[in-house]
Chain A
Amino acid sequence: MVRNNKLLAVFLVVLSLFLLAGCGQNESKATDQTGDTASQMQSIKLGGSSTLAPVVAQCADSFTEEYKTWNKVDPQLPEEPIVIFVSTGGSGFGVKAALDDTVDIGMVSREIKDEEKEKMPEGKIFKLGSDALTMAVHPRNEVMQVKPDLTTDEIKSIFAGEIKTWKELDVKLLGNSIVLAIRDLGGGASQVFDEFIMKGTPVAKEAIQLPSMGALAGKVMENQNAIGYVSFGLVKQNEGQLGVLKVDGVTPTLETISSGEYKIARPLLLITKDAPNTKEQLFIDYLLSDEGLKVVEEMGFVPAAN
């Protein structure tokens, strides 16, 4: 009898789980419409470039701190708490997620391709600023004293694998192999680097691919033989831990990047698939305001002309 009861109990638990699962499904189907709009009403989701994410996340924090509820931003909006989610996944993900509505606003740190633009005829693109790729080495690498200025062709030869050791670059340097640190080939940074330096020449297969700009900077910071294209913003954030080489005699600084004298630069963009709704527009306006652009500059990027 006792065993029967036990069996019955197990049976009931399993059965109720099934029923609950069923309920859950039906319920979610029924409230799909309303639930979705409710969550959209309550939160703004941004996703994409790992370069741009820290800037947007910091702005989102200060925006939420400052206003707390939407009616304080605009009296016509209802009194709802401001919720903004920021996630990373690369520029490609930023475009993809914006197009399939996974996020409301995509963050992209490269030019938007034409075929991508075709998929968002109603979409809007906002430029937040620009970022340069610097040729960074370990600060103790002697190339900083011996040969701090590289030409585009030298960089091309290094990354194409024609110059394999530091000694081949300059006889005063050590005979260690050059360790190439790059982002994965599909990433925004890779495409910019290809556009300005490699111009279609494939990067050497020996190059180590790193999953994020942060990891790339970390690799260059800890490996004495490494050279990599590190985002200007990250160089600023890690002051003194990276050696930055001149390219064709130009040092990357805020001035040279915004004047276009330093060539290897890329835009930092926000994209939406359709015209942004009121709340999204308000947050984008905040990002493009002086306060937002100040954060862009603090993070080491070049703010867009207001």
Chain B
Amino acid sequence: MQFKAKKQLYLNTSMGLICLLVSSGAMLLLLAIVFFIARESWPVWSAMGPAQLIGGLDWNPLAKPPLLGLGAMICSTLWTALGAILLAAPIGLCSAIFLAEFAPAWLAAIIRPVLNVLTGIPSVVYGFLGAAVLVKYFEISWHMASGESLFCASLVLTVMVLPYIVAASESALRAVPSEYRQAALALGVSRSYAVLKVLLPLTARGLLGALILAFGRAAGETMAVLMLAGNILLFPTSWFSKGEPLSALIALELGTSATGSLHYHALFAAGLVLLAFVMGVNLFINILMHYKGKRGT
């Protein structure tokens, strides 16, 4: 008996140790990536200064001296990613509510796998479809000289991030104990009232987390955006102008930049900005989660 307990104890501690090892390994990997990108981009930060690099609007790496302002790219990234979230959030949240609360089991069993298939489509295929269908449509119907735009990229990103929003929101909704639903319905409110006034406030942070996950996904997406955003160096003044998001900039120019040049370091700086962006937003959300919500009870 005692021996068994000892063995159990031994097993438990070793299990814990292994989990700790694995998770700290993942942590270290992330830190190593951040460290490497920071190190590779350091020369340009020190040479140009962060304000000029992030705030500068002119990008011409071959000029003498090179102009390396990432402002227009940062703005393009915001337009495409936030635009995609703006479009995907209502659709995604409504789908999640429908799947979690209203859909009959057989229908949910059809919709869920279909949505999951969307995550499996390679982004090149999305980009190709967008270039073949959307770009042509904008050229013909809107009489644009050339159909690429940030909006075009946002539309495709919307479809790409939708499954993430739906899956994460649905699991957040399902995590609410059923007592709340029963209590609400027992008080005689309608189903929709129970969802809107009881469940949504309870899961608000989970839903926000879903949107953040999607935002990170949208900001980092490269191939489809590269094919659809238009990649021009002008500062995007509207959602319908063309632009060059950070990820597209890196994909376009890293192959052709000379190693060790300021241009090369500036591309790493662009990567760092993108990384800081997504991580910063994640951090912000985590802090929000910690402060017990400003939920009016």
Residues of A within 8 A of B18 (CB): 11, 14-15, 18
**Interface bits B270-297 vs A (CB < 8 Å: 1, else 0):** 0000000000000000000000000000
Residue of B nearest to A1 (CB): B4
Of B7-15, B32-40, B91-99, the one contacting chain A is B7-15
- Report chain A residues within 8 Å CB of B251: 211
Candidates A4, A178, A188; contact of B11 at CB < 8 Å: A4
Contact of A187 among B139, B232, B256 (CB under 8 A): B256
Q: Which of A89-109 contact B (CB under 8 A)?
A: 89-93, 95-96, 99-100
Question: What total of chain A residues lie within 8 Å of the partner, measured CB to CB?
Answer: 44
Report which of B7, B232, B255, B257 forms a contact with A208, defined as CB distance below 8 A: B232
Asked if B265 is at the interface (CB within 8 A of a chain A CB), the reply is no
Residue of A nearest to B63 (CB): A202
Instruction: Indicate if A19 sits at the interface (CB-CB under 8 A).
Output: no
A209 touches B252 (CB 8 A): yes
Q: A179-B145, A209-B244 are in contact. Are A92 and B258 (CB under 8 A)?
A: yes
B253:A208 contact, CB within 8 angstroms = no
Residues of B within 8 A of A7 (CB): 11, 15
In the complex, what's the smallest C-beta–C-beta distance from A181 to chain B, in angstroms?
9
Residue pair B146, A90 in contact (C-beta under 8 Å): no
Q: Do residues A186 and B256 form an inter-chain contact, with CB atoms below 8 A?
A: yes
- Complex Cα distance, B260 from A99, in Å, reads 12
Complex Cα distance, B252 from A282, in Å, reads 34
Q: How far is the CA of A116 from the CA of B259 in the complex (A)?
A: 10
Contact digits for A71-93, partner B, Cβ 8 Å, 1 yes 0 no? 00000000000000000011111
- Residues of B32-72 at the interface with A, using a CB-CB cut-off of 8 Å, are 60-63
Query: A168 an interface residue at 8 Å Cβ cutoff?
Result: no
Answer yes or no: A177 CB below 8 A from chain B CBs: yes
Q: B226 — which chain A residues lie within 8 A by C-beta?
A: 211
Residues A27-62 near B (CB distance < 8 A) = none
Given A15-B18, A185-B60, residue A211 in contact with residue B252 (CB < 8 A): yes
Q: Is B221 at the interface (CB under 8 A from chain A)?
A: no
Q: Within 8 Å CB of B118, what residues of A?
A: none
Chain A residue nearest to B146 (CB atoms) is A179
Query: In the complex the two chains form, is B255's CB within 8 Å of A93's CB?
Result: yes
B263 and A186 within 8 A (CB): yes
Task: Select from chain B the residue with minimum beta-carbon distance to A215.
Answer: B227
**8 Å CB contact of A100 from B136, B257, B259:** B259
Residues of B within 8 A of A89 (CB): 255
Interface residue A206 (Cβ < 8 Å from any Cβ of B) = yes
B146 engages A184 (CB within 8 Å): no
Contact among B21, B139, B252, B256 for A223, CB-based, below 8 A: B139
| A-B contacts, CB under 8 A, total | 91
Measured CA separation A207–B145 after assembly (Å):
12
- Answer whether residue A176 sits at the interface, using C-beta atoms and an 8 A cutoff: yes
Q: How far is the CA of A205 from the CA of B236 in the complex (A)?
A: 11
A208 lies within 8 A of B242 (CB)? yes
Residues from chain A with Cβ under 8 Å of B61 in the complex: 185-186
Q: Which of A11, A96, A116, A225 contacts B14 (CB 8 A)?
A: A11
CA–CA, A4 and B7, complex, Å: 9
Residue A280 interfacial (CB < 8 Å) = no
- With a CB–CB cut-off of 8 A, which chain B residues contact A176? 145
- Cα distance, A191 to B263, chains bound together (Å): 15
Task: Using known A-B contacts A4-B11, A92-B256, A185-B253, determine if residue A207 contacts B146 with beta carbons closer than 8 Å.
Answer: no
Assess whether A210 is interfacial by the CB under 8 Å rule: yes
Question: Is B170 an interface residue, CB under 8 A from the partner?
Answer: no
Contact B146 A223 (CB under 8 A): yes
Is there an interface contact between A90 and B256, defined as CB atoms closer than 8 Å? Answer: yes
A178 to B259, CA, bound (A): 34
Chain A hits for B232, CB < 8 A: 205-209
By a CB distance below 8 angstroms, the chain B residues around A95 are 258
Docked-complex contact B253 and A205, CB < 8 angstroms: no
* A8 located at the interface, meaning its Cβ lies under 8 Å from any Cβ of chain B in the complex: yes
CB-CB under 8 A from B148, the residues of chain A are 208
CA of A178 to CA of B18 in the docked complex: distance in angstroms? 62
Can you pick out 23 interface pairs between chain A and chain B where the beta carbons lie within 8 Å of each other?
A4-B8, A7-B15, A11-B18, A18-B18, A90-B256, A92-B256, A93-B255, A95-B258, A96-B258, A116-B258, A184-B231, A184-B253, A185-B60, A185-B61, A185-B253, A205-B234, A206-B242, A207-B233, A208-B242, A209-B244, A223-B146, A225-B145, A226-B146
A-side residues, CB < 8 A to B, are 4, 7-8, 10-11, 14-15, 18, 89-93, 95-96, 99-100, 113, 115-116, 176-179, 184-188, 190-191, 194, 202, 205-211, 222-223, 225-226
Counting from the closest, the 5 A-B pairs by CB-CB distance are A186-B256, A90-B255, A92-B256, A177-B145, A209-B231
Task: A186-B257, A208-B232 given; name 16 further pairs at CB < 8 Å.
Answer: A4-B7, A11-B18, A14-B22, A90-B255, A92-B257, A92-B258, A96-B259, A99-B259, A186-B253, A187-B256, A205-B233, A208-B242, A209-B231, A209-B244, A209-B252, A222-B136
